[in-house]
Amino acid sequence: MLKQKNYVKNIVFVIAAIVQSAILSSCAKADIPPSFEEDTAKLDVPVLLSEPIPEAEVHDYTRFEKQREAYLNALDAYSAGKYAEVESILVNDLSDYPLAVNIEYLMLKRPGADMNQIRKFINSGQHDVLSARLKSYYIQKFDNNADYKGVLSVSPSIPQSEDLKCLWLKAQYKTGNRHNAVAFLKNKFTHAEPLNAGCMGLASVLVATGAMTEADIYSRVYEAYWTRNKQGIYQTAARMLHKSKAYSEPLKLMSKYYANPAGYAAIPVTQKTAATAVFRRYGRVEPRGALKDFQSFISKYHPSEKDIRDIKKAIIISLLFERDDLPMDFIDSELPSLGNEDMFKQRIRLAIWNRDYIALNKYLNRLPAETLKEDNYRYWRAVALENLGREEEARAIMKELAGVRSFYGYLAADKVGAPYVINEVAVPSVNIRQRAGFIEKYPAYLRFTEYEFLGDRKGLRTEWKELMNQATVDDARYIAKTEAERGYYDLALWESIYKKDWDVLSLRFPVTYREIYSTQSDAQKVSLTFMYGITRQESMMNPKAKSPVGAMGLMQIMPETAKIVSRKHGVGYSKPVDLLKPEVNVVLGTAYLKDLLSDFGGNRIFTSAGYNAGPRRAVRWQSSDGVCRDLATYVENIPFNETRNYVQKVVLYDYMYQHLLGVQNPVFIYDSEKENCY
């Protein structure tokens, strides 16, 4: 954004404007597929026209020619620290320029910026996205400088961002309002919740001032120690107690038996604190052994009632994720009094796996009313009732659920022989004058067009978010439809998320890079719609997407996976950055998808589970007791929440793409997948 001056100085603005207008009229862009409207027009879909579409004269891209150059000069001057020059340009040359607000924002981040002006900008409502960024910038800056009154001056109320909450609470604590900070942090800390850097900083302050005691820190150690996935939290908290006299010996013993908690009996009876923590971990890691040794542990160490409850809970949590020869009498006698919602959900999955419909119905009744409204629990309630002889109630639930566009809604439709609902809202295309009307109506849209002209992708995304905040739902639909047709599919897709507008399917499920995908689909004999379903869930169709763990591009390929696939299939690949190129990424992703489909006999349920969680897990989660289970049972019993949801979405999205691409006789679940033993 700050280095475009030379580019603009060399461009002929009039020619650029003509080209831009041609783009608007032809919607020409290399990777734009044919419009979805040819297919959806054949369907009985509602078109919402609640208010007239505004019109205006076609946007004149030469209008801001002089201001653009001044704007880029201002950016260069800002980068060079020439703030007086920037101020002069802003006042004299940019008074009516749409992107002047960005210069104002940058100038408020310069050293020595006036606090009154900063607060005024934040509270002005002039630009919500930039205001939020400016507030975040100053909260962090003031915190780094230990200017806690400054933090509270730019944010009198607690921020919504989790990254900023603890910085704000620390400022409150430092300025005398201590209760909220202590209560908030202690709750997260002692329950071993992950803490961001700001919250760890607040924890350090509370420890240093005595507001958080060694006992509080040990509570964090104790709550993290027994789990399978919080080793880092346990170790960090334990280091906070490295000088503690009261906890030094228990911590040494806990460290010694971390990898082998079954050796707990060697811990002296005088070290009950350590023995209890180690035995609780034993219950999580080896629940059957811990259950067998439980009474002898109680006899030797005399744990408190709370400790006994904690140990029983750890044993039950671990057992609920197993399947064979379970001590159900113990589980079902203790679970009602010890269980929480997550434990009841896992017991429900176990009942589904074992076809124990009495237990299924019993534990469904333990869930909150709001949770029972979720599609999967409605489906399994109906299955339970049907198998308990209450067919009429079951069918009524299935018929109602069949009216929902979801994975379980479609499974319910299969049960009652109903068609799959689409519930699509079609949005007409707007013409150039109508687009100009929206540009005139929404300042953020005008700024969007300017950033597009300048080739500033970051600015585009900023203004798209601001525009979606400003626009009505109907206007947002028209605007997103227009920009999707102009090639901004990845931005248009976010309309449904910002507006919770789930029925404009052509925006939610764009068909990007059609030629690349179609070529690879044909060459590698992989379903085009399944490829798109995977892509939609993996990257939301963003070719530049990068995950926190390093997956890259449209189908989110890990660099190591890319190396293996490229060697196996002879696909050109040299470095990770290549994965941000669709022509490379889609080839590698499709080859990997083909390998998984081949390994799983073409079954998309197993393949999508393997794509997300790894093929070995997808195999491990299958039945191994000779019982032939159905796909719904398999999906519901995937132990990872992310993968369970992932599989459902990919299979549903596959069907959405079949619908949008006009596939004759689209199929939700293939016969071979229905007949497969899971």
Both structure tokens of 509: 């499920």
What sign does the CA torsion over 123, 127, 128, 131 have? negative
What are the CA-CA distances from residue 407 to residues 79, 612, 640 (Å)? 51, 17, 17
Q: Which amino acid is at 524?
A: Q
**Nearest 5°: CA angle at 108, between 102 and 112?**
155
- Residue identified by tokens 């880092």 is 232
**Nearest 5°: CA angle at 280, between 275 and 285?**
120
- Nearest one of 637, 656, 634, 635 to 646, comparing CA atoms: 635
The DSSP string of 105-174 is HHHTTSTT--HHHHHHHHHH-S-HHHHHHHHHHHHHHHHHTT-HHHHHHH-SS--S-HHHHHHHHHHHHH
- Nearest one of 74, 78, 104 to 89, comparing CA atoms: 74
Q: Write phi, then psi, for 85 (nearest 5 degrees).
A: -65, -40
Residue 40 makes CB contacts below 8 A (sequence gap 6+) with 424, 426, 506, 660
CA atoms of 426 and 53, how far apart (whole Å) = 15
- Would you call 450 a catalytic residue per the annotation? no
What are the CA-CA distances from residue 92 to residues 72, 74, 96, 100, 341 (Å)? 14, 11, 10, 11, 62
Q: Are 168 and 151 in contact (CB under 8 A)?
A: yes
Q: Which of 452, 538, 636, 673 is catalytic?
A: 538
* E strands, 493-635, in order: none
Both structure tokens of 270: 């005088």
Q: Are 554 and 542 in contact (CB under 8 A)?
A: yes
Query: Is residue 236 helix, strand or coil?
Result: helix
CA atoms of 326 and 312, how far apart (whole Å) = 15
What are the CA-CA distances from residue 41 to residues 35, 45, 316 (Å)? 11, 8, 54
CA atoms of 602 and 594, how far apart (whole Å) = 9
| Residues with active-site annotation | 538
